[in-house]
Structure 1
Amino acid sequence: MATHKAVATVAVRGKLALIDVPTVAPAGRQVRVHVEWTASTPLDLHQNDGGLLVTHPQVLGDGLAGTVVETGPDVQSLRVGDKVFGFAFKDNTQRAYQDFATVAETALGKLPPGFSLQEAVTLPNNTVTVFHAVTKDLGLPLDWPRPVSQESFPKNPHADTPILIWGGASSCGQYALQILRAWGYTNLLATASPRHHAYLRSIGARHTFDYRDGDVASKILKVVEEDGRPQRPQGQHGPAVPFVLDCIASQKGSLSVIAGVAQKGTRVAALLPVIVRDATDNEAPVYCMDVQAAVNWAAGVEARGVRTHFYKDDVFFREHLQPTIVPELLAAGIVKPNKQRIVEGATLLERAQAAMDLLRGKAVSGERLVWRVSDLKL
């Protein structure tokens, strides 16, 4: 095939379009994947309605799952017929909303037995985001191989340090709780709608809070104080909540409240972009890329924007995070796939547009919008 079908954003706030794109043969360590499933993300909405990081026409989607149909000459671990899932984003040839994607084998992991492609596709982009944000932006260790028991965990001065996950029911929040718990972090705090609290406690949250509570910041600080701060060397004092991962990054909805929790020495990592105004049917979104300038922080708070697309600057993560770590965590039950809402439609374009409309309408909570991509029968 010289070309195949893809769904692209073609104009800011416009309807998605079906376009023809080149079918690219893999080179070097690349493979060509028949894309069978994807999971829509807020970034898709930011790109379509806000034009964020977009050159039109741009194929959308960075999480894919499907079957390897062709391999490059230097591929080491994948074979034709392998079921794979991964996170790829560099250009139109790699993205998910199309019949075929040609990507580096290091951007993919093999599907473990006992899982479906539609389950696995909920993992890659947000598990990668967690590892990158926790290690690079918060500066906390997630050593690999993971210690197999509490007794074998290396001495970690932050094992009982309060870590706040804002947006715990989001995909990224759920994976953050599971991953941090698996690495021995025991004092995890999470915000979410109350209907999600029991589940979040089951996957690692010590305490849960209603993010809509007007007094939530003071309640978080009160719980931390009642729990007792972690032991520190004599004479040293630090913030009540030293680490915050903001999985929502809304200027008014999360960061302005987190500013009431953060104190001198707190590190805040927020998933970019900061949403100043959400997209609606009638208004374009407004974004900010500077977390430090987005709200008035207390002196000494370090607020950073998480740039997941730079995770490959870490050579170890580039080679091992998606091919090895994520599949092994899934196979071992250390992380569980997000709950899926299957988006239906008669065609690739209909399913993509339906998912986009659901994202814009904020019709998703505690689950991922997952949908079948290619209509080709190979």
Structure 2
Amino acid sequence: MKAIIYRDNGGTDVLQLLDRPVPAPGPGEVRVRIVVSGVNPTDWKTRSGATNPKQFDEVVPHLDGAGTIDAVGDGVDPGRVGQRVWVFMATAGRPTGTAAEFTVVPAEQAVPLPDAASFDLGASLGVPALTAHRALTVAEDGPQRLRPGALDGKVVLVAGGAGAVGHAAIQLARWAGATVISTISGPEKARLAAAAGAHHTVNYRDGDPAAAIRAIAPDGVDLVAEVALGANLALDLAVLRTRGTISTYANDGGKPVELDVRQNMMLNTRFQFLVLYTVGRQALTAAAEDVAAAVGAGALPVGAEHGLPLVRYPLERTADAHQAVQDGTVGKVLVDIT
């Protein structure tokens, strides 16, 4: 099979396209013939060594993808062969990701993909959708699972609604019944956030964004899905209601975070920091089930008309795909495998 591999941490030049043996599924595993692979920021950060040192002599990158199960290991229902699936967390503790014609994952990490859902959608789920689900289900008085009506009466602020996680957070929050506000940096990103389903967009670079958000939510927002905590903390606290939650999954820009302890005591602020690698099996399973339900309901479409442009590369240009994500390309970067 054709596969992208790297043997050393480094820049995009460490990625190589090579022939590799087709892997065999072990007990409890499935083999998936990958059609589309999704690229996330964590993929290039892992490759570069920015987050963790390389664990294996050779790695096939990419956590997410979509394709068809073509073989199963012992203990897995043989009827799953031929099933269309989306794959998540393929390289979590394993060396075989989705940047290859075949990958092997635990059966529960290959989630059925409805016939009406494209492989592009399947490859765009994974890290972004599961992260968004976690961000929306950690409030003290909020739901632990998402479904229509679960967030009725809640106001959710999504920072960076034009990003992949922000896009999924807008869609999931709206599907669950929340009023969704997204902060954006300009008209084009406002258009994307609105296309994703945000009821309101606020340009954080213009005027008084806190006043604009308070005009929409006079009692404050219940929950913030945050991508740049250091840069946005003052605004978040200015609009957060008492006992509200700030869920942060990144700190884009790298600005240090400084907390006014008394201010947060008086607000009874809840901060939830999250990363999927250590979130735990129970949370991942719940998120995958709820995301699958949202997909089945048609609530998570992708593409420019739905607020998430798709940027495509062939397998042999995976290095360019990594560079595009690293450079902050707007939209979801995909690698076509077959």
Range of TM-score over shorter length: 0.7 to 0.9
What amino acid maps onto 1:308 in structure 2?
L
Change (3 A) 1:162 1:20: same
What amino acid maps onto 1:131 in structure 2?
H
Match of 2:5 among 1, 4, 7: 7
Change (3 A) 1:118 1:28: same
Partners of 2:95 and 2:31 in 1: how far apart? 10
Query: What are the equivalent positions in structure 2 for 1:9-24 lying under 5 Å apart?
Result: 10-13=8-11, 15-18=13-16, 23-24=22-23
Partner residue, 1:236? none
Q: Report the 3-state secondary structure (helix = DSSP H, G, I; strand = E; otherwise coil) of the residue aligned with 2:138.
A: helix
Q: Deviations over 1:298-347 (max 9, x none)?
A: 433433321122444317x52x643x5433322321221244434334xx
Conserved? CA contact 2:40–2:127, under 8 Å: no
User: Does structure 1 residue 360 correspond to structure 2 residue 326?
Assistant: yes
Q: Which has the larger radius of gyration?
A: 1
Conserved? CA contact 1:194–1:209, under 8 Å: no
Partner residue, 2:100? 98
What amino acid maps onto 2:156 in structure 1?
I
Partners of 2:38 and 2:62 in 1: how far apart? 8
Partner residue, 2:223? 243
Conserved? CA contact 1:250–1:276, under 8 Å: no
Q: CA deviation at 1:163?
A: 2.0
Partners of 2:217 and 2:291 in 1: how far apart? 34
What amino acid maps onto 1:7 in structure 2?
I
User: Does structure 1 residue 337 correspond to structure 2 residue 302?
Assistant: yes
Q: CA deviation at 1:357?
A: 1.6
Partners of 1:166 and 1:138 in 2: how far apart? 20
Relative to structure 2, which stretch is displaced further, 326-335 or 95-104?
A: 326-335
Partner residue, 2:257? 294
Q: Report the 3-state secondary structure (helix = DSSP H, G, I; strand = E; otherwise coil) of the residue aligned with 1:127.
A: helix
Partner residue, 1:41? 40
Partner residue, 2:167? 174
Change (3 A) 1:351 1:163: same
Partners of 1:78 and 1:176 in 2: how far apart? 33
User: Does structure 1 residue 130 correspond to structure 2 residue 151?
Assistant: no
Q: CA deviation at 1:167?
A: 0.6
Conserved? CA contact 1:120–1:337, under 8 Å: no
What amino acid maps onto 1:30 in structure 2?
E
Conserved? CA contact 2:225–2:248, under 8 Å: yes
Conserved? CA contact 1:161–1:229, under 8 Å: no
Conserved? CA contact 1:47–1:53, under 8 Å: yes
Change (3 A) 1:255 1:24: farther
Partner residue, 1:190? 182
Query: What are the equivalent positions in structure 2 for 1:60-71 lying under 5 Å apart?
Result: 60-71=61-72
Partners of 1:74 and 1:55 in 2: how far apart? 31
Q: CA deviation at 1:261?
A: 4.4
Q: Report the 3-state secondary structure (helix = DSSP H, G, I; strand = E; otherwise coil) of the residue aligned with 2:67.
A: strand
Partners of 1:140 and 1:94 in 2: how far apart? 36
Conserved? CA contact 2:66–2:87, under 8 Å: yes
Q: Report the 3-state secondary structure (helix = DSSP H, G, I; strand = E; otherwise coil) of the residue aligned with 2:313.
A: coil
Match of 2:245 among 267, 278, 303: 267
Q: Report the 3-state secondary structure (helix = DSSP H, G, I; strand = E; otherwise coil) of the residue aligned with 2:124.
A: coil
Conserved? CA contact 1:86–1:125, under 8 Å: no
Q: CA deviation at 1:26?
A: 1.8
Conserved? CA contact 1:85–1:120, under 8 Å: yes
* Structure 1 unaligned spans of 5+: 148-152, 231-239, 278-287
What amino acid maps onto 1:357 in structure 2?
Q
Q: Deviations over 1:56-89 (max 9, x none)?
A: 6443211111121210121138522222112123
What amino acid maps onto 1:371 in structure 2?
V
Give the aligned length. 324
What amino acid maps onto 2:143 in structure 1?
P
User: Does structure 1 residue 351 correspond to structure 2 residue 317?
Assistant: yes
Tell me the TM-score normalised to structure 2 length.
Answer: 0.82
Report percent identity of matched pairs.
Answer: 20
* Structure 2 unaligned spans of 5+: none
Partners of 1:93 and 1:342 in 2: how far apart? 25
Q: Deviations over 1:116-158 (max 9, x none)?
A: 21232112221111222221367631546x34xxxxx47x6xx
CA RMSD of aligned residues (A): 3.1
Q: Deviations over 1:275-304 (max 9, x none)?
A: 455xxxxxxxxxx9xxxx723344334333
Q: Report the 3-state secondary structure (helix = DSSP H, G, I; strand = E; otherwise coil) of the residue aligned with 1:299.
A: helix
Partners of 1:138 and 1:4 in 2: how far apart? 47
Relative to structure 2, which stretch is displaced further, 169-178 or 47-56?
A: 47-56
Partner residue, 1:85? 86
Partner residue, 2:199? 206
